[in-house]
Amino acid sequence: MIRELVEKNRSYRRFHEDTPVEMVVLRELVDLARLSASAANLQPLRFIISCTPKKNNLIFPHLGWAGYLKDWPGPESGRRPSAYIVVLGDTTVTKAFGCDHGIASQSILLGAAERGLGGCMIASIKRNRLRDALDIHKKYEILLVIALGKPLEKVKIEEAGPDDTIEYWRDEEGVHHVPKRRLDDVILS
């Protein structure tokens, strides 16, 4: 069951923008993050949640979408996320967030996958511009943005080839291919 959920949890970058993600669902997903492990149990993460077109439009232009897809600036209108969760670190609690935001974000995305939603953790962020757009206080470090919605694209996991290329790509039908290294290649003796 957990394996199916992990395999279903891909980095989706195109969505049915007209299918809403309700505020109650976003709160439930953040609750999963809240319950996740935190170094020294400091719980320094804070979250901004967005599911309205107005607020979503403040977030979208400050995100980088797919580094390996050089000629793609991100999803066009109608295929954008219908929700976002901005993951912040409270610097009055700690200055070092370790991997807390990765753990919390994975919990959020697994919860989203369980609900038939998809998402993408985005670290390529124009942080100063996003801070200004959302009026985020300086005491919060912008760590990640999670884009969420009903996936519009198909993502296919496949084994990395003999050249060990791990760059994802899209075929002529728009299927997003994600090469993964073989299990025996990642376990060291």
Task: Dump pLDDT digits (tens) for 80-132.
Answer: 999 999 999 999 999 999 999 999 999 999 999 999 999 999 999 999 999 99
For residues 25-39, average pLDDT: 98
Q: What pLDDT is stored for residue 26 in this prediction?
A: 98
- In this structure, are residues 177 and 158 in contact, taking their beta carbons and an 8 Å threshold? yes
Q: Report the distance separating Cα 125 and Cα 72, nearest Å.
A: 16
Residue 144 and residue 122 in contact, taking contact as beta carbons nearer than 8 Å = yes
Residue spans per domain, the chain: 2-153, 154-189
Q: In what order do the strands lie in the sheet with 118-122?
A: 45-50, 83-90, 140-149, 118-122
Rounded to the nearest 5 percent, the helix, strand and coil shares of the chain are 30, 25, 45
pLDDT-based confidence at 6, cuts 50/70/90?
Answer: very high
CATH of 2-153, one of 3.40.50.12160, 3.30.1360.120, 3.30.450.20, 3.40.109.10: 3.40.109.10
Contact 103, 121 (CB under 8 A): no
> pTM score, two decimals?
0.94
Q: Does residue 164 carry a pLDDT above 80?
A: no
CATH number for 154-189 (one of 2.20.180.10, 1.10.10.10, 2.40.30.20, 2.115.10.20): it is: 2.20.180.10
The pLDDT tens digits of the residues spanning 130-162 come to 999 999 999 999 999 999 999 999 999 999 977
Query: H helices of 67-125, where?
Result: 100-114
d(CA 179, CA 167): 7
In the block, residue with structure tokens 């993502």: 155
Q: Which pLDDT does position 71 carry in this prediction?
A: 84
**Cβ–Cβ contacts within 10 Å for residue 95, how many?**
9
